[in-house]
A and B are shown apart, each in its own frame.
Chain A
Amino acid sequence: MFEYLNDSTTIKYIVTIGSMALFFVGLFGLLSQKHFIKIFISIATMETALFLFFIGNMFNKNFTAPIISEGFTDIAKMNDPIPHALILTAIVIGMAVLALGVSMSIEYYKLTGNTDIDKMNEMRH
């Protein structure tokens, strides 16, 4: 079904356009939404978009996962493991920052009753 989509260049186009669309959704959310949680969701969406963009572009459908196991020992036909390692690191770091942000916004809400990023103006009076 839809065999013409299986070409590797086409896959790269799909990945690039799709992940940039996701990036756009995140950026749009960041610029248009006000609630802290929404802002953090938007940032997480942007990050996910980049991860998909990277892994998807480095993907070769004729290759295998970079794990040597029975029947899969041909090193020349494995996907590059470095992007996987980088994205692994980036996912964990992104999660840590988001968790910190969420806890800060909880405290901020407890103190001021405000969840709106545009109404953060403790210092303007």
Chain B
Amino acid sequence: MSSILFVALPLLFGFVTPVLAKLGKDGVAYASTLMQAFLLYLAFSLLSGDSSHIEVISIAPPLGISFTLNSASLLFVALFTFMMTLFSLYYLSHRKTDAYKNETKFFILINMLLAASIGLVLSSDIFNIYVFFEIAGISAYILSAYEKTPSALEAGLKYLITGALASVFLIFAIVLIYMNLGSLNLGVIAQGFESLAFNTKLLISLLLLIGFGFKVEIFPLNFWVVDVYQGSSTLINSLFSAIVVKAYLFVFFHIAYLFLPSAEFSVFLIYLGGLSMLVAEIAGLRQTNLKRLFAYSSLGQVALIFTAFALQNRDAIQAALFIVLAHSIAKAIIFFALTSIQKEHKSMDIETLKELNSPFLRAIMLIAILSLLGIPLFAGFVGKLLVLKSLAVSGFIGVLVIIIIASLLESVYYFKLAGFMFAKGEKREALEIDFTQKLVFSLLAFLLLTIGTMPFIFSGFLSESASVMLDSSTYILNLMGGR
């Protein structure tokens, strides 16, 4: 019952917003934030409840669509609602001086994005996943073109064309699955997948990989990502980086664990992840635009998460979940801070950091960067260490070396950034950050430090989520038992 609410409430809110707009723009803004806070409360009350949060909901029970809420999907739902609530809080104070045009449409779009991301994570029906894939996609296209400048429109168009292509391949995979297995329910598909001919299995997996590969930003298919990040507005990038990619990553691996054709395929995925990380970091080295630079850093981190998920054992998945948390929080900080900087300095060149006169922002950004880099006592460290450890245990020494090289390259540009931030030089007037924003920043930074210094608080739940994610037989059993 509650898992439907996570999707139905934001959708309902989106549908009523045009009428709510009659109340005034402030009303919509506060109502939207309140609704997201309510979802956050719901997610956390489920998290702190009893440990077995498995809930399967079937819509039209015998053969319809099922939603599964277990520890793994609950973790992502909580992350998304948390990030979205903080985003709204940040935006509430940002909009006083620098609101988007047609603000009600903006609120509809972010709530639709939230509903679709949650739907992607919860859904247990492959065609339903396609529908949410499209909702998330289409609201992301509009959000990236939102400002209607030439570069924003270019970003939106590139995103749209690649997204439409991705959905063509996803439909192809779904068509083949239904033709060969006669069902769309993930449980039924997972049971029958083993018995298919090898070629069909290979074909379906490749089509799924191409379809989702565009969205999880994996190497040959990620040519569009950087332009989209640069063209869209800085604030919206935080949503792309903290929510949308994470939802696609979860769905992709959730499906992959249920039906992966062979062990060779997962080795292929591991090498693909390592390669993507290396390429992203090399390309990131010579960037001078901050948004572009952090886009490359996102690509690198996502590739690291991809590699960790592809290792397909419990420790690696736990590590991946740690990086998911650390990366979402750090990127939210970075893009919020860049928004504040851009508002003041009107430029996103790396040189602007020299003129930045705000000790608070500098400290916060430094924490985020150190966490992204994986320095001990910061959140990124735990995940990276665990990934390297499980790579070594599984015997992928080549990938281990590639990731270490990529991390070193990464550190080059992060230190360059830090150097720019603390360089002596002419400073602008002090950049004022109001109380709400300070609260958001401090909360996020505090979380990063907490995860970094006391990972044991989280590791229990994360390892449970990891084993739930990997345990496909229980998932199938619950799905079939739910009927």
Contact = CB atoms under 8 A, between A and B. Distances in A.
A104 B153 contact: yes
Contacts of B231: 122-123
A66 interface: no
Interface string B102-144: 0000000000000000000000000100110010011001100
A105 B150 contact: no
Contacts, number: 88
Interface stretch (A2-10, A49-57, A69-77): A49-57
Nearest to B148: A107
B154 A108 contact: yes
B141 A100 contact: yes
Interface string B146-176: 0011110110111011011101100110110
B102 to A, nearest CB: 14
A22 interface: no
B147 to A, nearest CB: 11
Interface in A79-102: 82-83, 86, 89-90, 93-94, 96-98, 100-101
B142 A123 contact: no
A37 B164 CA distance: 14
Contact of A50 (B158, B160, B163, B168): B168
Q: Is the interface of A mostly helix, strand, loop or mixed?
A: helix
A96 B138 contact: yes
A105 B168 contact: no
Contacts of A111: 148-150, 153
B157 A101 contact: yes
A54 B178 CA distance: 9
Contacts of A122: 150-151, 154, 231
A93 B134 contact: yes
B160 A101 contact: yes
Interface residues of A, number: 34
Contacts of A54: 175, 178-179
Contacts of B154: 108, 120-123
A50 B171 contact: yes
Contact of B178 (A86, A89, A97, A105): A86
Contacts of B131: 89, 93
Q: Is the interface of B mostly helix, strand, loop or mixed?
A: helix
A119 B127 CA distance: 35
Contact of B160 (A86, A90, A100): A100
A90 B171 contact: yes
A123 B230 contact: yes
Contacts of A89: 127, 131
A89 B227 CA distance: 31
Contacts of B158: 120
Given A93-B131, A97-B160, A108 B175 contact: no
A101 B151 contact: no
B161 A101 contact: yes
A83 B153 contact: no
Contacts of A58: 179
A117 interface: yes
B103 to A, nearest CB: 19
Contacts of A108: 150, 153-154, 157
A93 to B, nearest CB: 5
Given A96-B138, A101-B157, A104-B160, A112 B150 contact: yes
Given A47-B171, A54-B175, A107-B153, A123 B164 contact: no
Contacts of A98: 164
Interface in B225-240: 227, 230-231
Question: 4 tightest A-B contacts by CB?
Answer: A122-B151, A108-B153, A54-B175, A111-B150
Interface of B: 127, 130-131, 134, 137-138, 141-142, 145, 148-151, 153-154, 156-158, 160-161, 163-165, 167-168, 171-172, 174-175, 178-179, 184, 227, 230-231, 292
Interface of A: 30, 36, 39, 43, 46-47, 50, 53-54, 57-58, 82-83, 86, 89-90, 93-94, 96-98, 100-101, 104-105, 107-108, 111-112, 117, 120-123
